[in-house]
Amino acid sequence: MDAAVTIRRAREADLPAINDIYNHYVLHSTCTYQEEPETIENRCAWFQQHGELHPVIVAEQAGEIVGWGSLSAYHRRSAYRRTVENSVYVHHHRHRCGLGSMLLRDLISRAREAGHRAIIAGIDGEQAASVALHAKFGFETVGQLKQVGFKFGRWLDVIYMELLLDGR
Protein backbone atom coordinates (compact mmCIF):
# COMPACT_ATOMS: atom_id res chain seq x y z
CA MET A 1 0.00 0.00 0.00
CA ASP A 2 1.23 3.51 -0.79
CA ALA A 3 2.23 5.75 2.08
CA ALA A 4 -0.13 8.58 2.95
CA VAL A 5 0.29 11.90 1.19
CA THR A 6 0.69 15.01 3.32
CA ILE A 7 -0.03 18.49 1.98
CA ARG A 8 1.94 21.14 3.84
CA ARG A 9 3.52 24.56 3.50
CA ALA A 10 6.76 24.42 1.55
CA ARG A 11 10.07 25.07 3.24
CA GLU A 12 13.27 26.35 1.74
CA ALA A 13 14.69 22.82 1.90
CA ASP A 14 11.93 21.74 -0.54
CA LEU A 15 13.05 24.13 -3.29
CA PRO A 16 15.42 21.72 -5.12
CA ALA A 17 12.58 19.17 -5.44
CA ILE A 18 10.08 21.86 -6.45
CA ASN A 19 12.53 23.09 -9.06
CA ASP A 20 13.24 19.59 -10.40
CA ILE A 21 9.52 18.90 -10.85
CA TYR A 22 9.00 22.24 -12.60
CA ASN A 23 12.06 22.00 -14.84
CA HIS A 24 10.87 18.67 -16.24
CA TYR A 25 7.86 20.52 -17.65
CA VAL A 26 9.99 23.42 -18.88
CA LEU A 27 11.93 20.96 -21.04
CA HIS A 28 9.16 18.53 -22.02
CA SER A 29 5.73 20.19 -21.90
CA THR A 30 3.63 23.15 -22.89
CA CYS A 31 2.09 23.40 -19.40
CA THR A 32 4.61 26.19 -18.80
CA TYR A 33 5.73 28.62 -21.45
CA GLN A 34 9.13 29.00 -19.82
CA GLU A 35 11.73 27.62 -22.22
CA GLU A 36 14.92 27.59 -20.14
CA PRO A 37 15.20 25.64 -16.88
CA GLU A 38 14.70 27.68 -13.73
CA THR A 39 17.85 28.19 -11.68
CA ILE A 40 17.79 27.41 -7.98
CA GLU A 41 18.75 31.04 -7.31
CA ASN A 42 15.65 32.28 -9.15
CA ARG A 43 13.52 29.66 -7.40
CA CYS A 44 14.76 30.93 -4.03
CA ALA A 45 13.92 34.53 -4.98
CA TRP A 46 10.46 33.38 -6.15
CA PHE A 47 9.92 31.59 -2.83
CA GLN A 48 10.85 34.71 -0.86
CA GLN A 49 8.06 36.61 -2.68
CA HIS A 50 5.47 34.20 -1.31
CA GLY A 51 4.00 34.27 2.18
CA GLU A 52 0.73 33.96 4.06
CA LEU A 53 -1.34 35.59 1.29
CA HIS A 54 0.54 33.74 -1.47
CA PRO A 55 1.52 30.34 -0.08
CA VAL A 56 3.62 27.62 -1.66
CA ILE A 57 2.60 24.08 -0.70
CA VAL A 58 3.98 20.62 -1.34
CA ALA A 59 2.61 17.11 -1.50
CA GLU A 60 4.94 14.82 0.40
CA GLN A 61 4.83 11.04 0.38
CA ALA A 62 7.29 8.78 2.20
CA GLY A 63 9.67 11.73 2.63
CA GLU A 64 9.61 12.64 -1.09
CA ILE A 65 8.13 15.78 -2.63
CA VAL A 66 5.75 14.44 -5.30
CA GLY A 67 4.01 17.69 -6.26
CA TRP A 68 3.67 21.33 -5.40
CA GLY A 69 1.33 24.25 -5.83
CA SER A 70 1.28 27.97 -5.23
CA LEU A 71 -0.89 31.04 -5.14
CA SER A 72 0.78 34.07 -6.68
CA ALA A 73 -0.25 37.66 -7.08
CA TYR A 74 -2.25 37.96 -10.28
CA HIS A 75 -1.21 41.54 -11.06
CA ARG A 76 0.94 44.21 -9.42
CA ARG A 77 -1.72 46.93 -9.41
CA SER A 78 -3.25 47.23 -5.94
CA ALA A 79 -6.87 46.83 -6.99
CA TYR A 80 -6.04 43.22 -7.99
CA ARG A 81 -4.72 42.38 -4.50
CA ARG A 82 -7.48 39.86 -3.75
CA THR A 83 -7.10 37.99 -7.03
CA VAL A 84 -4.48 35.26 -7.23
CA GLU A 85 -3.17 32.92 -9.89
CA ASN A 86 -2.66 29.27 -9.05
CA SER A 87 0.00 26.81 -10.15
CA VAL A 88 -0.12 23.04 -9.64
CA TYR A 89 2.66 20.69 -10.71
CA VAL A 90 2.80 16.95 -10.06
CA HIS A 91 5.92 14.83 -10.54
CA HIS A 92 5.73 13.39 -14.06
CA HIS A 93 5.82 9.81 -12.73
CA ARG A 94 2.90 10.46 -10.39
CA HIS A 95 0.08 11.55 -12.71
CA ARG A 96 -3.45 10.24 -12.21
CA CYS A 97 -2.93 9.48 -8.52
CA GLY A 98 -5.12 12.30 -7.21
CA LEU A 99 -2.23 14.56 -6.26
CA GLY A 100 -3.37 17.44 -8.46
CA SER A 101 -6.80 17.36 -6.81
CA MET A 102 -5.27 17.30 -3.35
CA LEU A 103 -3.06 20.28 -4.13
CA LEU A 104 -5.76 22.34 -5.84
CA ARG A 105 -8.30 21.65 -3.07
CA ASP A 106 -5.76 22.86 -0.50
CA LEU A 107 -4.91 25.99 -2.50
CA ILE A 108 -8.60 26.89 -2.80
CA SER A 109 -9.02 26.50 0.95
CA ARG A 110 -5.97 28.66 1.64
CA ALA A 111 -7.20 31.31 -0.80
CA ARG A 112 -10.54 31.48 1.02
CA GLU A 113 -8.84 31.67 4.42
CA ALA A 114 -6.64 34.52 3.16
CA GLY A 115 -9.71 36.47 2.04
CA HIS A 116 -9.05 36.29 -1.68
CA ARG A 117 -11.96 36.87 -4.06
CA ALA A 118 -10.90 35.00 -7.20
CA ILE A 119 -8.39 32.47 -8.45
CA ILE A 120 -7.24 32.67 -12.06
CA ALA A 121 -5.70 29.76 -13.95
CA GLY A 122 -3.90 30.31 -17.24
CA ILE A 123 -3.72 26.90 -18.94
CA ASP A 124 -2.19 25.90 -22.25
CA GLY A 125 -4.96 24.90 -24.66
CA GLU A 126 -3.43 21.43 -25.14
CA GLN A 127 -3.52 20.60 -21.43
CA ALA A 128 -6.93 18.90 -21.28
CA ALA A 129 -6.16 17.23 -17.94
CA SER A 130 -5.43 20.57 -16.31
CA VAL A 131 -8.60 22.10 -17.74
CA ALA A 132 -10.59 19.12 -16.43
CA LEU A 133 -8.95 19.36 -13.01
CA HIS A 134 -9.88 23.01 -12.66
CA ALA A 135 -13.43 22.42 -13.96
CA LYS A 136 -13.85 19.67 -11.34
CA PHE A 137 -13.36 22.33 -8.66
CA GLY A 138 -15.78 24.82 -10.19
CA PHE A 139 -13.45 26.92 -12.32
CA GLU A 140 -15.19 28.32 -15.38
CA THR A 141 -13.58 29.13 -18.71
CA VAL A 142 -13.67 32.91 -19.08
CA GLY A 143 -11.52 33.40 -22.16
CA GLN A 144 -8.98 32.13 -24.62
CA LEU A 145 -6.02 33.92 -26.14
CA LYS A 146 -5.01 32.44 -29.46
CA GLN A 147 -1.41 31.88 -30.53
CA VAL A 148 0.15 33.95 -27.75
CA GLY A 149 2.87 31.41 -26.88
CA PHE A 150 5.48 29.84 -29.12
CA LYS A 151 7.24 26.72 -27.87
CA PHE A 152 8.55 23.56 -29.50
CA GLY A 153 8.16 25.14 -32.94
CA ARG A 154 4.43 25.83 -32.74
CA TRP A 155 1.99 28.52 -31.66
CA LEU A 156 0.04 27.90 -28.47
CA ASP A 157 -3.29 29.11 -27.08
CA VAL A 158 -3.98 29.97 -23.45
CA ILE A 159 -7.30 29.19 -21.80
CA TYR A 160 -8.19 31.36 -18.81
CA MET A 161 -10.32 29.82 -16.09
CA GLU A 162 -11.62 31.54 -12.97
CA LEU A 163 -13.06 30.50 -9.63
CA LEU A 164 -14.98 33.10 -7.65
CA LEU A 165 -14.46 32.10 -4.05
CA ASP A 166 -17.84 33.18 -2.72
CA GLY A 167 -19.53 30.84 -5.22
CA ARG A 168 -21.10 33.53 -7.39
Contact yes or no for 160/141 (Cβ under 8 A): yes
CA distance 43 to 91: 17
Question: What is the DSSP code string of 72-83?
Answer: EES-SSGGGTTE
- How many CA atoms lie less than 13 Å away from 49 in the CB half-sphere? 12
Positive or negative, the CA dihedral 11, 83, 101, 17 is negative
The CATH number of the domain holding residue 20 is 3.40.630.30
Query: What pLDDT, in 10s, does the model give residues 126-142?
Result: 999 999 999 999 999 99
pLDDT by residue (tens digit) across 25-35?
A: 999 999 999 99
**Tens-place pLDDT, residues 40-84:** 999 999 999 999 999 999 999 999 999 999 999 999 999 999 999
pTM of the model: 0.95
| Residue span of the structural domain in which 12 resides | 5-164
How many domains, in total, are found in the chain? 1
| 167 Cβ neighbours under 8 A, 6+ residues apart | 138
**CA 43, CA 36: separation in Å to the nearest integer?**
13
The predicted structure's pLDDT at residue 2: 65
Length of the chain as a residue count? 168
pLDDT tens sequence across 83-120: 999 999 999 999 889 999 999 999 999 999 999 999 99
Q: Is 163 exposed, middle or buried (0-12, 13-18, 19+ CB in 10 A)?
A: buried
